[in-house]
Structure 1
Amino acid sequence: MPTITEEVRRAPRRDAAANREALLAAASATLNEHPDAGLEAIASAAGLSRRAVYGHFAGRDELIAALIASGATRLNDIAATLEHPHTPTAIALLGARLWHAVEHVQLLAAMALREPHVDQVAAALAPVRERLGALVSRGIDEGTLRGDIHPQTLARLVERAAIAVLLEASVARLDDAEGHRLVMLSVLGTAGLGWREAGAVIDAAPELAYLPAADAEPDQARDASDATGEEARA
């Protein structure tokens, strides 16, 4: 059984871990709203001093690097666990799961346009892009996706279609159910399905149905709760 002295020694470590998580959460929320926000604004959002930031990160770039790594890990995990024998359904499912990780996607999309993070984001998200590229190539080969565009180009367009909806959500204030469906319609339309056909695919697959966080499957519920928690902390 730990002594009182040992408990006292551990307390600062717990506080330090909590402060680091608070900084990461505040940085995610702040940078999603203002991608060029400085350490002062991030520290203020976390309820900490600027000096406290340097107890965990050497500077703004190191803090953002930690956010990129964390967000990319989450998105890569989503892609790695995704599978469905019907390729359009698989692509729609990837879009839907990314929707429920919207805070991560928005941050990574913003950082992907800013030096010195462009190469870091590209490398961190390589597994997601590889998975999407494999799905697109499979769909072209089997004739379920459009075959008039090179697979790599089509995969990039599908990715950007998903990101466009995710970014639009922050402007149009889409509700969760609307965004969930819209991102699937967008990626399927880009992949070559007509809007009626895309809607039929979505309506026919139970896996693509929108479920509120409390009723969702474990992965979907976790993604939704993460996004809700990050919005609350913002």
Structure 2
Amino acid sequence: MSTQESPVRPESVPTRERRSDATINHKALLHAAQAVLAENPQASLDTIAQAAGLSRRALYGHFPDRDTLLREVIALGAERFNAIAHVIDDADPRVALARLAVRLWREASAVRAAANIALSDAHVADTVRSLAPLRRRIRELTDTGTAAGAFRRDVSPEVLAILIEETARATLRQTRLTGSNPSVIARVVLSIVGLSWTEQAALIASNPDIVA
């Protein structure tokens, strides 16, 4: 008894190819957006499409408007920031906070597009949502540090966490992510939670890998 193979639908292969092309184009647009927006956060969709080697019409096939594209760029950067927060597990909350600050600073320099957009007041809500895991980690550290007496107690852990977030945004905007010594970044957050400059110096000296 012979077996009969099921006919292959002619449209099946082209469909897979279209999906593959769509995935490639989507990634190309995101890559172009990250590169272009890192230099100019106000860059137009035309500029981004040209950088990706695609038409504006092709871009609209993936992103209906500029805000949708920016939100995805923010989300990509947030994934990397949140991943850092997940792996910082030093037992000493002072060391953990300083290490987190330095690693986030360096990562922000690597994904400047997301960082530049995140600094924009127009995208604060998107940034807050995307960075929820990181923000929870900062709050956990302020809770732990305050309870252990390592952080100042004249300010609540919640307020400390907010101050760290806002100071980080202000510092990034001022320095434009370049030219700063990592130890300065560590000292900024340690100052917020109440460590004196001598305590900061001692902590960094005893944990030099924080800023290495």
Please report the TM-score for the alignment, with normalisation by the length of structure 2. 0.80
Q: Secondary structure at the match of 1:146?
A: coil
Moved more, 147-156 or 33-42: 33-42
Code of the residue aligned with 2:124 in structure 1: it is: V
Q: Is the 8 A contact 1:166 1:183 kept in 2?
A: no
- Report the alpha carbon displacement of residue 93 of structure 1 after superposing the two structures with TM: 0.9
Aligned partner (choices 168, 191, 197) of residue 162 of structure 1: 168
Q: Gaps (5+ residues) in structure 1? A: 211-234
Identity rate, percent: 39
Aligned partner (choices 106, 129, 146) of residue 123 of structure 1: 129
- Report the alpha carbon displacement of residue 159 of structure 1 after superposing the two structures with TM: 2.0
RMSD over aligned Cα atoms: 2.6
Task: Tell me the residue number matched to 1:100.
Answer: 106
Structure 2 Cα separation of the partners of residues 108 and 194 of structure 1: 33
Task: Tell me the residue number matched to 2:139.
Answer: 133
Code of the residue aligned with 1:194 in structure 2: it is: S
Structure 1 Cα separation of the partners of residues 201 and 93 of structure 2: 15
**C-alpha distance after superposition, 1:149-174 (max 9, x if no partner):** 12111111112223333333327x31
Aligned partner (choices 177, 202, 205) of residue 203 of structure 1: 205
Structure 1 Cα separation of the partners of residues 60 and 23 of structure 2: 14
Task: Tell me the residue number matched to 1:184.
Answer: 186
Matched residue pairs, number? 199
Task: Tell me the residue number matched to 1:110.
Answer: 119
Q: Gaps (5+ residues) in structure 2? A: 1-9
Structure 2 Cα separation of the partners of residues 29 and 181 of structure 1: 28
Moved more, 161-170 or 11-20: 11-20
Q: Is the 8 A contact 2:74 2:118 kept in 1?
A: no
Aligned partner (choices 41, 44, 50) of residue 56 of structure 2: 50
Q: Say yes or no: does 1:81 pair with 2:121.
A: no
Task: Tell me the residue number matched to 2:6.
Answer: none
Q: Is the 8 A contact 2:84 2:103 kept in 1?
A: yes
Structure 1 Cα separation of the partners of residues 119 and 159 of structure 2: 21
